[in-house]
Amino acid sequence: MMHSATPSSKPVPVAVFLILQAFIGTAAIILLVWELGWPMSQAGARASEWFTWSLVLLALLAEAGIAWKDKRQAPLLRFSILGAVLLLAAARFGLERPLRDWLGDFVAPRTAALIALVVIQLTLVIPFSLRVLRLTRSRFLQQARPGTLFVISFFIAIVGGTLLLKTPNATVAGLSWLDAFFTSTSAICVTGLAVVNTETAFTQEGQFILLALIQIGGLGIMTLTYFIAVIVGQGITLRDQARLGELFSEDNLGTMGHFIGKVVVLTLTIEAVGATLLYYSWADNPPREGRLLWDSVFHSISAFCNAGFSTFADGLADPGTATNHPGLSVIMVLIIAGGLGFAVLHALPGLLLRGFTSLLSRLLPRSRRIARWHQQLPFRLHTRLTLITSASLLIVGVITIFITEHWSLTEAHLWEAVFNSVTARTAGFNISDFGAYDFDTVVLLCALMFIGGSPGGTAGGVKTTTVAIAIGELIRLIRGHQSLHIGNRRIAREVVERSTGTIVLSVLWVALTILLVSWNNPKLNPVDIIFECFSAFGTAGLSRGITAELAPLSKGIIILSMFAGRVGLLMLVLTLVGRTVPRRYDLPDARLPLN
């Protein structure tokens, strides 16, 4: 007689391990926020370490169970992750002293211990994050517009940043909910407008949170999430590749996985090089004693992400930094690099090589074969249009500032004009008082902030290519041509219409924000309000000193304007409207008088 198996003899399903993994990831996030956000006693630190080790052991159990039960996962990959967790766990006790010795006076022993705990907890959070990523591949979200997840991810990041900035350890005297939400939005949207002084209002932990929000906002939540998915071998779907291709202005969807990796690696490399150069540029006369390394890293990331936040009370306007030309040069190069867009940065080495071989062929006749070979390399219209428009705006900005301010050609004026022409393109750093400029200079700076940077980068605004296409369309109408041609290419009608729609929507939006903020703050100078509204929408972060004086409703309007400028106003409108229904018929033409 056969006996049926008892319930206790049934094998444990893989779902149990997945639930355990979700619990571990959630608990690790809560623990990490507690460690960074609240003061911790010695007993609390011991409890935190004990709880961390318990999570590590549970994570080992969950990973081993998934590797054993889920046959769809590659065993080698699963056991590699398991080995990495074990290795990091074994290195926990030996991590604190090397960090303290290497960083010296820059990081306190407690900070080194926290970094070690953060490293371990991140290894617990990442598997959970990858499980959450799979939820984005549900049928409902797969049918969403490409920009929907982009908009939602930014909003979720802003809410998370607000909660972190409200923790006791983040600020010296605390922030109101509105000011925390404003600061989080400004950081995630890489704007730089601040209602409090970054140096005096935030603690070291608060500045670290702010910098993390800037980095996340510069790269984007989707970019970081898909990057983790790629490096652990999970991969991304074709629809994911289409989403990322639209965000980064990249046409070759088949290489988006590799492109995402290059974006993150390129960003970290440029920021590391920038921090190193700033460190040595400021070494002889440090802006703040004992904080040189932190200040260099903070400003490098803030500059490349076009955020404009500074750990100095007066920004870069302090005489020690405003007259430090090597440091200003590094800041400007980082701003321009972040504003060009990742697709252009990726193509830039090939373009420089192409120009070098072309020059070499003129000097050395025997090298013409090499030059002809490089001339055959593809040179995208997007890259050419971005570089030409960006260079033109920079030069026009410098010349116009000299004209509007009636300056004589001196070294000090030249540096100020060049830096302001660069930083007005959504960067937000200042080496001078913008409240002292004449109204015609304010109009120029508003135009530069409105245009912003280039697609697929860290900058905001309506974008350089949008303005270039709109100007080209205007020239086409004047000349009476049937279609728009740029660089031996015909621009698709859909692209022209999106460019025109973006500019019209953006002008109406900025006009509406100016009207509402002026109505809500009748005592403020209208010129200052106009400048503030253009700065918010262009995510430039420049101000004439009225940000902290804005009424609560006006702060809310500026928050919404920063969000719309970062994610793209047209994308935001299309996301709110939802799925459109195409019209399958057309009506007879109607000619209306326009003059």
| Residue 13 pLDDT | 61
Q: ∠136-141-142 over CA atoms, to 5°?
A: 95
Q: Is the residue at 173 inside a domain?
A: no
**Which has more pLDDT, 373 or 145?**
145
Q: Tell me what percent of the residues of the chain surpass a pLDDT of 90.
A: 24
User: What tokens were used for 478?
Assistant: 């004047």
Number of domains in the chain: 2
Angle between helical axes of 146-165 and 238-248 (0-180°, round to 10): 70
* pLDDT tens track for 217-226: 887 655 655 5
| Residue 126 pLDDT | 65
| Residue 309 burial (10 A CB sphere; 0-12, 13-18, 19+) | buried
| Residue 378 pLDDT | 52
* Count of C-beta atoms within a 10 Å radius of residue 504: 12
For tokens 């903020």, name the residue: 517
The CA distance from 230 to 238, in Å, is 13
* Count of C-beta atoms within a 10 Å radius of residue 324: 21
Section 490-501 average pLDDT? 87
Section 298-313 average pLDDT? 90
* Count of C-beta atoms within a 10 Å radius of residue 212: 15
Q: Which helix (H) or strand (E) holds 486?
A: strand 485-486
Q: Is the residue at 172 inside a domain?
A: no
Q: Tell me what percent of the residues of the chain surpass a pLDDT of 70.
A: 70
> Is 60 exceeded by the pLDDT of residue 82?
no
**The CA-based dihedral angle spanning residues 560, 222, 255, 247, taken in that order and rounded to the nearest 10 degrees:** -10
Which of 322-336, 416-430, 452-466, 555-569 is least confident?
A: 452-466
| Residue 339 pLDDT | 85
> Is 50 exceeded by the pLDDT of residue 233?
no
The DSSP code for 171 is B
> Is 70 exceeded by the pLDDT of residue 240?
no
Section 7-23 average pLDDT? 62
The CA distance from 332 to 308, in Å, is 11
User: What tokens were used for 490?
Assistant: 């015909």
Q: Is the residue at 26 inside a domain?
A: yes
Sign of CA dihedral 138, 142, 147, 148: negative
**Which has more pLDDT, 125 or 9?**
125
| Residue 218 pLDDT | 82
Q: Is the residue at 345 inside a domain?
A: no
Beta bridge mates, 171: 202
* Count of C-beta atoms within a 10 Å radius of residue 57: 12
* pLDDT tens track for 498-557: 888 889 999 999 999 999 999 999 999 999 999 999 999 998 888 898 998 999 999 999
Rg (CA), the chain: 26
Question: Position 261: which residue type?
Answer: G
| Residue 76 pLDDT | 56
Last residue of a domain, one of 88, 115, 135: 135
Q: Is the residue at 25 inside a domain?
A: yes
Q: Is the residue at 514 inside a domain?
A: yes
Section 18-31 average pLDDT? 75
Q: Is the residue at 110 inside a domain?
A: yes
**Which has more pLDDT, 406 or 77?**
406
Section 399-407 average pLDDT? 92
Domain residue limits at 70: 13-135
Q: Is the residue at 162 inside a domain?
A: no
**The CA-based dihedral angle spanning residues 438, 426, 155, 343, taken in that order and rounded to the nearest 10 degrees:** 160
